[in-house]
Structure 1
Amino acid sequence: MPNRDDQLSAFPAFFRVEDRDVVVVGNGDEALAKVRLLLNTRARIALVADAPEAALTNLVIQNNIRHVARAFEPAHLDGATLVFAATGDAAADRAIVDAARDRKIPANAVDQPDYCDFYTPAIVNRAPVAVAIGTEGAGPVLSQMIRAQVDQLLSPSLGPLARLADLYRGAVEHVLPRGATRRVFWRRFFSGTVADAVNAGQIADAEREASRLLKTMETIEGHVWLVGAGPGSEDLLTLRAQRAMMEADAIVYDALVPAEVVAMGRRDAERFSVGKRKGCHSKSQDEINDLLVELGRAGKRVVRLKSGDPLVYGRAAEEMQALRTAGISYEIVPGITSAFAAAADFELPLTLRGVASSLIFTTGHDLTGDILPDWASLAISGATIAVYMGRTVAASVAERLMQAGLPAETTVAVIENASRRDKRLLHGVLGELPGLEARDDLGGPVMVIIGDAVAGANFTHSEPLAARLPAVAERLAVSGV
């Protein structure tokens, strides 16, 4: 469930006001601002003002606005679609809102956000395209600042381009099949030669390019992106990953991918949770492979969303092989692997000149056999070791590395939920690491980083492992391991 602080108290929406009555009540600057705002629309504006100031009177005359030159009466609101109470008098504005509510008409009391049925946004107008920025009444100046930035980003030709698209909408629905083919057409329409011609003011050329594009559009085949979702924080998702997610008809995601990241995909995309978390595998790898092939053969554009980077302990090789065998196109979208996010949280140099020139990624499971892996000798010579899924293998990793000759005093960093707001940092030495397995207060994914370079980390915001040394660690310490 989303954090309450991340939820809006007002649902953003656009009211239909063309050829409908919108009433503004007031004589001064507040009413003037609302009338100017409404002139961006095709509403029938009515101003109720018994003594309008000169600037407001001039605006009414210049724009042929209906003026009710009387003191406000509730009957003035009859038949209205929206009402703005803009007298500058808080009590009078509340009375106007009450009269509107009696008639089931949404109303806005200027500068009284707690007495509004809707809020007035800052608007970037590229009709028929509009961008509305709201702060739920908390910061009108902030919304105006954002409006100025957005206004600079959007081309003045966006409106004519949208109007041209509206002319082609019926033909596109008639000629092109619903789904990916239509979306690709519109993406090319809005970002290719059609948009270039409109931007240059050459509307006839734009129409010719649009017709050519429609005639030459081919049916879009299924395609799969193997996307790295990063370590968990949604703002570490790459731009390429975001673009793929906005194109996808289906999103297939692992349990370790946070809901906030999954929600960044297209709102109408199908979503398939496939588990793949220790202890709660909802689908086997073969079932996941079959699902990707099935979706691809159905012509779907599919994002396979994996925690971290898909090529680092993501079992991407098996999925790529299944897609190749089925003849379905795919591509890899790299992500930030958890080791890098964990190091960033600790301000920890994974390589350090004169100390550590090598970096090892491992899950630690290859240390549980009888034969010590080749990389263990690198660890002894100073390489930094990043252990994924580190809590469950902490004891075996520490024991085998110390048996191989790595000093028990070697610095270690432990990170739970790397990159996320609920991350937790711990630090200690290799001899204390076995106790990690017995800690039931670490429920999220844990990364362990070991090596001399770890001593260069910033431990200001981390807690010592030794602060809670469980019995298992004490036993290992007593036994001399």
Structure 2
Amino acid sequence: MQHFPIYLDTAHANIAVIGNGEAALAKLRLLFKTQACITVFAPDAEPELVRAVRDHGHTLVARLPEVQDLTGMRLVYSATEDDAQDAANAALGRAAGALVNIVDNLKGSDFITPAIVDRDPVVVAIGTEGAAPVLARAIKKDMEERLPTALGRLAQAGKAFRPKVEALPFGRARRDFWEDYYLKAGPDLLAQADHLDPQAALQDLLDRHLARDHHTGRVDLVGAGPGNAELMTLRARRLLDRADVVIHDRLVTPEVLELARREALFIAVGKEGFGPSTPQDHINALMVDHARKGAHVVRLKGGDAAIFARLDEETEALDAAGIDWGVTPGITAASAASAAIGRSLTRRGRNTGLHILTAHDKDGIAAQDWAALARPDTVAAIYMGKRAARVIQGRLLMQGAAPATPVTLVENASHPDQTITPCTLDTLAQTVPALHGPVVMLLGVTPARAADVLPELNEVTA
């Protein structure tokens, strides 16, 4: 992010606009909506510009500015549509200590003005770092159609009511109230009739929220999916957006965490095979402690919450503490891996069952029914198997598995850097060391052409 978006307080701020054409008028139409004191510098000003400045009660100076004219200006816009003159104006503005924008000149500007959807006091700014103004305008058009014109009136009523909402406990209780108002009660009110009193409706809603018990929170155990944020369920994204506390695993990606509220407390509780791990008892205590303080906790797990994710241990701890909880499933890594290679993990005439297993548990290499796994046409998805690849290979060969049994290694399933590496059982141990990310071993299946399955993510090797 090169340009950091902020909202600048323009009340009584001094802003200069230099120019006498459509570019200057376009900026002025936007700036006239602010509370700034605007001075326009325009030699030989056109009648339309003169009329616009006069009608809005601002100042017109019929010449180009000098440095002393720009002293005290917060922002300076140069819109002369002459490169040399714009550069000179920009130098004067910077010498006077102002931030400068040259219209349609990204490199010469200190800041950019985004496309804006105005539902005062709700203002949506859309920027593309100057790379795609056409796209910004398309997004603006879409949002103009989506956001009702009465949205500003809804927000104004809520703003005036904010002091009364302080009667609710700080944090989740207040957010629940405002979510109820802005997403349900408020729109319902506007849909009924324009003349209804928003303040009366707000007071009725507040009375109902005050009657609730806000002392005990809740824990949602949520599957984040295999890593690609687009593969999260709608429910998972909604819960993450509402969470006060996010307790997340090591493999939950930054892209997924970005979907949570920035104000949320993020707690990493990573576990790594044969490496440092957060004790499960500590994770349980974190969930209970934060929920008892009234927080909405999301226990965010990579993949699916019910597959190799200690779900039972965590729900039992929450039950013992009397904490309300729910489970939201996610796409598990085996499903993401099979999608990546374009193969079903079950197929009529080949396998009537599917083994999903972990290569190691808390005691080391996990014990398995190797004889069953070695049977022809067996299909298995093996998690956390890189370090155990030689053991897996040896056990299966000892039980009579064919050395040519296909194995497909899917590294970083669903991620942009996903790789797909086919091998056979007799070459498994030699192939795995070249892979460095999390790997799902698909025993008994080979890649198909997967061009139509997650095409933007797949890098299928031959």
Match of 1:4 in 2: none
> 2:78·2:100 contact (CA, 8 Å) conserved in 1?
yes
1:234–1:228 Cα change, 3 Å: same
Task: Kindly provide the CA deviation profile for residues 382-403 of structure 1, in whole angstroms up to 9, marking residues without a partner as x.
Answer: 3421111121222333333344
Distance of 2:4 and 2:296 partners within structure 1: 30
> 2:382·2:442 contact (CA, 8 Å) conserved in 1?
yes
Shift of 1:332: 0.8
Match of 2:454 in 1: none
- The structure 2 residue matched to 1:427, chosen from 419, 422, 425, is 422
Match status 1:213 vs 2:201: no
Shift of 1:192: 1.6
Match status 1:158 vs 2:151: yes
In structure 2, runs of 5+ residues without a counterpart are 452-457
TM-score, normalized by length of structure 2? 0.91
Shift of 1:206: 3.1
> 1:197·1:203 contact (CA, 8 Å) conserved in 2?
no
Between the two proteins, the alignment pairs up a number of residues equal to: 451
Instruction: Work out the percentage of aligned pairs sharing the same amino acid.
Output: 38
Shift of 1:314: 0.4
Task: Kindly provide the CA deviation profile for residues 153-209 of structure 1, in whole angstroms up to 9, marking residues without a partner as x.
Answer: 222222111101101111112x11111111111111111223311344435343322
> 1:28·1:87 contact (CA, 8 Å) conserved in 2?
yes
Match of 1:12 in 2: 5
Match of 2:26 in 1: 33
- The structure 2 residue matched to 1:197, chosen from 182, 186, 189, is 189
1:431–1:92 Cα change, 3 Å: same
Aligned amino acid, residue 313 of structure 1: F
- Counterparts of residues 32-431 of structure 1 (less than 5 Å): 32-173=25-166, 175-202=167-194, 204-217=196-209, 218-220=212-214, 221-365=216-360, 372=369, 377=372, 380=375, 382-431=377-426
Shift of 1:275: 1.7
Task: Kindly provide the CA deviation profile for residues 25-45 of structure 1, in whole angstroms up to 9, marking residues without a partner as x.
Answer: 101111111111212323233
Aligned amino acid, residue 82 of structure 1: L
> 2:374·2:400 contact (CA, 8 Å) conserved in 1?
no
> 1:180·1:301 contact (CA, 8 Å) conserved in 2?
yes
Match of 1:470 in 2: none
Give the aligned CA root-mean-square deviation in angstroms: 2.4
Task: Kindly provide the CA deviation profile for residues 210-234 of structure 1, in whole angstroms up to 9, marking residues without a partner as x.
Answer: 1111112124221111111111222
SS in 2 for 1:192: helix
Distance of 1:370 and 1:298 partners within structure 2: 41
Distance of 2:159 and 2:11 partners within structure 1: 18
TM-score, normalized by length of structure 1? 0.87
Distance of 1:379 and 1:146 partners within structure 2: 55
> 1:274·1:281 contact (CA, 8 Å) conserved in 2?
no
Aligned amino acid, residue 80 of structure 1: M
Distance of 2:41 and 2:130 partners within structure 1: 24
Shift of 1:320: 0.3
Distance of 1:371 and 1:133 partners within structure 2: 54
Aligned amino acid, residue 245 of structure 2: A
Distance of 1:200 and 1:30 partners within structure 2: 42
Shift of 1:54: 4.2
> 1:395·1:436 contact (CA, 8 Å) conserved in 2?
no
Single out whichever of 194-203 and 270-279 deviates more from structure 2. Answer: 194-203
Single out whichever of 361-370 and 87-96 deviates more from structure 2. Answer: 361-370
1:89–1:320 Cα change, 3 Å: same
Distance of 2:35 and 2:224 partners within structure 1: 44
Distance of 1:205 and 1:443 partners within structure 2: 61
Aligned amino acid, residue 299 of structure 2: R
Shift of 1:405: 4.1
Distance of 2:195 and 2:261 partners within structure 1: 31
Shift of 1:62: 4.2
Aligned amino acid, residue 262 of structure 1: L
SS in 1 for 2:124: strand
Distance of 1:190 and 1:141 partners within structure 2: 30
Distance of 2:319 and 2:159 partners within structure 1: 39
Which has the larger share of helix? 1
Distance of 1:82 and 1:411 partners within structure 2: 66
SS in 1 for 2:423: strand
Distance of 1:383 and 1:87 partners within structure 2: 73
SS in 2 for 1:345: helix
Shift of 1:21: 2.5
> 2:359·2:366 contact (CA, 8 Å) conserved in 1?
no
> 1:225·1:330 contact (CA, 8 Å) conserved in 2?
yes
Aligned amino acid, residue 372 of structure 1: D
Distance of 2:373 and 2:276 partners within structure 1: 34
